[in-house]
Amino acid sequence: MKKTFWALLWSSFMQVNGPIVSGLSIFSSFLFWIFLPTKSVSLVYVVIIGWTAAIVILTLGQATYKSFKDSEIELPRIIDSKRDRKTGNIVCVLEPSILFSQGIMVSFYYADGNFEVHIGIGQVILIQRDGKIQVLLNIPTQGYEEILEGFGNNNESIKRKIYIKPTMNIDMLVKGERNG
């Protein structure tokens, strides 16, 4: 869900208990005004300004932190996988992600303990209307046939350990184009 700047500020204001702190500042200001009305530097104004500044600083700090956390982008999860009937290659569907575009080359990795093992190369063949991404694994790495077989059969435990990472536009590789 995309938020506007004002919606982000409002949610941050609520998260730092802005209404409660505002109420306390107004209440304490009235207490100072009632019990200490003869002070030369009006403590009422100091308290009001101090609490207001604290609320503003906390709200902006929370908004900055939340904006930073919301901007982190993760690799999309594999929703489904199967073998193509004609070629026998593995085709899978990923969650929507801004990291992928149609025609880019991707690498497939399998999480094996603390290591990620390269198990193949493929390409994004289609970005669906709902944003889901269809990926084709066209060049499997030798020696990982058991993992690839489970992946092609939509095995959930294997799918959870496979990560697909974008690399480069496939046209650049085929045509030999270089950027700069």
- Do 84 and 151 have their domain in common? yes
- Do 20 and 102 have their domain in common? no
For 119, phi then psi, to 5°, come to: -115, 0
- Do 61 and 86 have their domain in common? no
The answer to whether residue 58 is domain-embedded is yes
Q: Specify the DSSP class assigned to residue 176.
A: T
The answer to whether residue 49 is domain-embedded is yes
**Which stretches in the chain have pLDDT values below 50?**
1, 177-180
pLDDT of residue 1: 45
- Do 51 and 127 have their domain in common? no
Residue keyed to tokens 């996988």: 81
User: What is the amino acid identity at position 66?
Assistant: K
- The count of domains in the chain is 2
Q: Is 160 helix (H, G, I), strand (E, B) or coil?
A: coil
Rounded to whole angstroms, the maximal C-alpha distance in the chain is 90
pLDDT of residue 38: 65
What Å distances lie between residue 90 and 84, 113, 161, 164, CA to CA?
6, 24, 16, 13
- Write the pLDDT tens digit of every residue in 17-63: 777 777 777 777 777 767 766 665 567 777 778 888 888 888 888 87
Q: 107: how many CB neighbours lie within 10 A of its CB?
A: 19
**Distance from C-alpha of 101 to C-alpha of 82, rounded to nearest angstrom:** 21
- Do 105 and 140 have their domain in common? yes
**Distance from C-alpha of 78 to C-alpha of 106, rounded to nearest angstrom:** 13
pLDDT of residue 170: 59
- Do 82 and 165 have their domain in common? yes
- Do 59 and 17 have their domain in common? yes
The answer to whether residue 180 is domain-embedded is no
User: What is the amino acid identity at position 112?
Assistant: D
- Do 30 and 85 have their domain in common? no
- Do 91 and 164 have their domain in common? yes
- Do 65 and 86 have their domain in common? no
- Do 88 and 115 have their domain in common? yes
Domain range for 47 is 5-70
Is the pTM higher than 0.85? The answer reads: no
- Do 90 and 168 have their domain in common? yes
C-beta of residue 91 within 8 angstroms of C-beta of residue 83: yes
Cα angle 146, 86, 110; round to 5: 30
Strand 115-127 versus strand 78-83 pairing type = unpaired
Q: Is 81 helix (H, G, I), strand (E, B) or coil?
A: strand
Domain stops at, among 18, 50, 70: 70
